[in-house]
Amino acid sequence: MAELEDTVAMTKQDASSGGTQAVSRAARILRMIARRGIEGTRLTQLTRYTGLPHPTVRRILKCLIIEGLVIQDAASKLYRLGPLNFELGLATLREVNSERAYQQILANLAQASGDTVYLMARSGADVVCLDRAEGSFPIRAHLFSIGGRRPLGFGAAGLALLSSLCDADIQRIIAINAHEIEVHPRLSIEYLMDAIERTRARGYAITSDIYTMGIGSVGVAIPNGDQDPVYALNLSTVGADRFTPGRIAELQRLMVAQIAQTRDIRPMLTDEMERDYS
């Protein structure tokens, strides 16, 4: 824990140095707003989760609103991402063939398991949902919306991706997300560190009842050659009778078999995007 406290202090010191401070802080605020999605977030929440002073957050938000990156609802005072984010996203590089290949893999898994399957990607200290496919089981495990973000390590795919990193990167990411971990009703830093060790020993992640009671998930990171994994599959199912040890092992085998087909798929994200921990 002493090492983690030192990392937290170093993270804050790094973020406050250099001429890119304003950009780094604005990006941190945008990520936090993105995590709340369409629900929106309040100024007090952004101040608490970013660790930035209240006047600083307010000043940056005003600038982001002027630029169209953030909007504020006049009645509720909640902040959400603005339309410029969507417009900029349209101009980003898209690997259409890669997208279609992953969509087929998700469809195959959803059909074979009957459950809901997600393609997740590491983005800085977050994990973001890129796509999902639903199986035939009548009760759906809706954990992520496409584009939805959560702190890395939250959920099976995020845990699988976090566990694949070196210890130094894990400490840095946990330091960045420390407050969100502490306020989570069923997570703690100690629990997360123990889950990382179990995931490394097992080779894949298992989570149950983290966000929604009765939902269990298996997460498998997709190998990325000699680099850290960027993508992971997250398969979620509803009901204890569908999440027994035997079925968990069966689902993991299905996922590994599909992951074997990703070796020739060109990555959709760059190293620069995945390594940004600010």
User: What's residue 270's pLDDT?
Assistant: 46
Q: Give me the domains of the chain, ranges plus CATH numbers.
A: 19-89 (1.10.10.10), 96-274 (3.30.450.40)
8, 134, 230 from 203: Cα distances, Å: 28, 25, 16
- Taking residues 251-255, what's their average pLDDT? 95
User: What's residue 95's pLDDT?
Assistant: 58
d(CA 208, CA 218): 9
User: Quick one: angle between helices 43-50 and 21-36, nearest 10?
Assistant: 120
Q: What is the DSSP string of 113-158?
A: HSSEEEEEEEETTEEEEEEEE--S-SS------TT-EEETTSSHHH
pLDDT per residue as tens digits for the range 170-213: 999 999 898 888 888 888 999 999 999 999 999 999 998 876 77
Question: C-alpha angle with apex 100: 142 to 268, nearest 5 degrees?
Answer: 85
> Residue 263: helix, strand or coil by DSSP?
coil
pLDDT per residue as tens digits for the range 9-42: 444 444 444 457 888 899 889 988 988 888 899 9
- Taking residues 150-167, what's their average pLDDT? 94
User: What's residue 100's pLDDT?
Assistant: 75
Asked whether 255 and 233 are in contact (CB, 8 A), the reply is yes
pLDDT per residue as tens digits for the range 34-58: 888 888 999 999 998 888 999 999 9
Q: What is the pTM of this model?
A: 0.75
d(CA 203, CA 171): 20
Q: What is the mean pLDDT of the chain?
A: 84
Residues linked to residue 120 through DSSP beta bridges, in sequence order: 129, 232
pLDDT per residue as tens digits for the range 82-134: 999 888 877 765 555 566 788 899 999 999 999 999 999 998 899 999 999 99
- Taking residues 129-146, what's their average pLDDT? 86
DSSP 226: T
Asked whether 81 and 36 are in contact (CB, 8 A), the reply is no
Q: Which strands, in side-by-side order, build the sheet including 205-208?
A: 149-151, 126-133, 116-123, 231-238, 215-221, 205-208
